[in-house]
Amino acid sequence: MKLLYTKRSPYSRKAQVMALEKNIPLEWVEEDLIRKSPQLLEANPLGKIPALILDDGQSLFDSPVICEYLDSLNDTPVLIPSAQRFAILRWQALADGLMDGTVAMYLEKIRHPQDFNPKFLQNQENNCALVLRYFEEHLSELADFSLASISVACAVDYINFRFPHLNAEGMYPKLQAWLTDFSKRPSMQNTVPTN
Ligand SMILES: N[C@@H](CCC(=O)N[C@@H](CS)C(=O)NCC(=O)O)C(=O)O
């Protein structure tokens, strides 16, 4: 199977970490999102990564669907256990929403470096702070390793990558300590975002 991805995408990272943790071999194929490959456009008409191309040529997207699929392939370990399924998917939705806001802020800043919309950015920063505060206060719910903890780790580490001032030292001490520990996993170390 091939995963079309970029090294900076937190959505791709979720799928990569899932596959590494479950020992599922995936060929990582890096995409250029300015000049999208015919392979990507065929796999996902939305032109977004991550997209997973199965061995029979069928494709799957977006990252929640890919993560569900990967989890269905083996149970070593199960990362979306059925008893916690909806709680885990809710955590994933929150983490994905945080990624959406962070990506939107980043795009606004690179597209309009001189005249970005300050109200838009402030709004996104406020949303981001609310979600990080939520993570800080509900960390005990992430004690088990699952798609929930993977999603949160990928979302928070993406903030550290793009806008470290939003998660500066001391702002969310429990969350930062948790992420530092979580980031020691080889699957996280092998997928550190880079430009
Ligand atoms: N909800 C999607 C979001 C994927 C997404 O927004 N990917 C971005 C890169 S981080 C992308 O492919 N952007 C290219 C474009 O929109 O043209 C998922 O979870 O997979």
| Same domain flag for 50 and 135 | no
- Assess whether the C-beta atom of 31 lies below 6 angstroms from ligand 1: no
Residue whose CA is at the smallest distance from ligand 1 atom 10 = 9
CA 125/CA 95 separation, integer angstroms: 15
Q: What is the CATH number of the domain that holds 38?
A: 3.40.30.10
Specify the pLDDT at position 156: 98
Q: Are 155 and 10 in contact (CB under 8 A)?
A: yes
| Same domain flag for 67 and 89 | no
| Same domain flag for 130 and 91 | yes
> Of the residues 7, 48, 162, 194, which should be mutated to test ligand 1's pocket, given the most ligand atoms within 8 Å of the CB?
48
Specify the pLDDT at position 142: 97
Residue whose CA is at the smallest distance from ligand 1 atom 15 = 48
Q: What is the CATH number of the domain that holds 108?
A: 1.20.1050.10
| Same domain flag for 168 and 96 | yes
> For 134-169, what is each residue's pLDDT tens digit?
999 999 999 999 999 999 999 999 999 999 999 999
Least Cα distance to 152 among 171, 169, 167 occurs for 167
**Total domains in the fold of the chain:** 2
- Assess whether the C-beta atom of 45 lies below 6 angstroms from ligand 1: no
Q: Where are the beta strands (DSSP E) in 6-150?
A: 27-30, 51-53, 59-60
Specify the pLDDT at position 105: 96
| Same domain flag for 59 and 14 | yes
Full domain range(s) for residue 120: 82-188
Specify the pLDDT at position 158: 98
Q: If you measure from the C-alpha of residue 49 to the centroid of ligand 1, how many angstroms do you get, rounded to a whole number?
A: 5
- Assess whether the C-beta atom of 103 lies below 6 angstroms from ligand 1: yes
Of 50, 73, 96, the domain-final residue? 73
> For 33-46, what is each residue's pLDDT tens digit?
999 999 999 999 99
Specify the pLDDT at position 57: 97
Is-above-0.85 flag for pTM? yes
What parts of the chain have a pLDDT lower than 70? none
Specify the pLDDT at position 112: 92
Specify the pLDDT at position 16: 98
Domain presence at residue 140? yes
Express as a percent the part of the chain with pLDDT over 90: 98
Specify the pLDDT at position 136: 98
Ligand 1 atom closest to the Cα of residue 49 is 12
| Same domain flag for 18 and 101 | no
Task: Name residue, tokens 């599922």.
Answer: 24
| Same domain flag for 153 and 95 | yes
